Amino acid sequence: MEHQELAAFIEVADSGSFSQAAERLHLTQPSISKRIAALEDRLRRPLFDRVGRRITLTDAGRTLLPYARRVLQEIEDGRRALSKLSVEVAGRLSIGTSHHIGLHRLPPALKSYTQRFPEVDLDIHFMDSEDACEAVLAGKLELGIVTLPLAPLPQLDWRVIWPDPLSVVISPDHALARHDSVPLRQLADHPAVLPDEATYTHRIIVRELEAHGVAPRVRLATNYMETLKMLVAIGLGWSVLPSSMIDDSIRALPVDGLALQRELGVVWHQRRTQSAPARALIDELLAEAQMPAN
């Protein structure tokens, strides 16, 4: 079996979609279909049931899936081990990061990294921090540059790169904008637009509010910080955003007794060999962490 066929099989199994698998592997949907058909021909068994738009694993597919994952992980571990032996920093490096970090934090480090190591092919996936951590655990990504979870995840190591203070923010026209500061319970009387409840950032916010005996009235939730900023600016509610995002379109509102912060950093699998490109990027990020903030 070709490892490209196994990679296509795993992505279709995980996503339940040929089109999503094609997007994740940077291929066309016909290419994915050909790889699955070739694998099924080799095995002489159908791996997926296709009923309308729904795609599910057959018994043969469910049986093959853990073995396919193991084979691809062994190949990837071998590639990283060989890369580690090389003095030259070159080859492919797959990383996952959130849109916010990719827009606001990573560019200086990536610019320096690509200038120093032009032989590295960066494979960058933009996704939620939670999904990036899962992808590192599954061996699909070598590094995640993410909002760090509240509690350590088994089998993941991490380093903090950027402390990220958070602020309660409102529109300049919000009913509370005339106040220099407000009690938390007064803030909670007004609707909020917050990060999605599945995100680490949401959990940080809610944990702190619950510690003060307060639950927010959430009007809208989304994973994207830039979207939340827009919703606050047009007056749909208050939110909690990185202090670095505050500009003339929104204003910070001090809340009595409330201090919020999250940590952004890099995660990798404890038990998998790091490639030379991955070690070099971690070093680049740690150097970034030691630089004074602008």
Query: Which one-letter DSSP state was computed for residue 237?
Result: -
Q: Which CATH architecture has domain 163-261?
A: 3-Layer(aba) Sandwich (3.40)
pLDDT of residue 205: 92
Between CA 77 and CA 91 the distance in angstroms is 14
3 state SS of 113 = helix
Q: Which CATH architecture has domain 1-85?
A: Orthogonal Bundle (1.10)
Between CA 242 and CA 164 the distance in angstroms is 6
| Domain spans, the chain | 1-85, 163-261
Pick from 6, 126, 131: which is nearest to 66 by CA?
A: 6
Beta strand 260-269 with 156-170: parallel, antiparallel or unpaired?
antiparallel
pLDDT of residue 88: 75
Digit-coded pLDDT (tens) for 229-274: 999 999 999 999 999 999 999 999 999 989 999 999 999 999 888 8
Q: 156 versus 293: which is more confidently predicted?
A: 156
Q: Residue 76 above 90 pLDDT?
A: no
Pick from 92, 98, 86: which is nearest to 127 by CA?
A: 98
Query: Which one-letter DSSP state was computed for residue 198?
Result: T
| Beta bridge pairs of residue 262 | 164
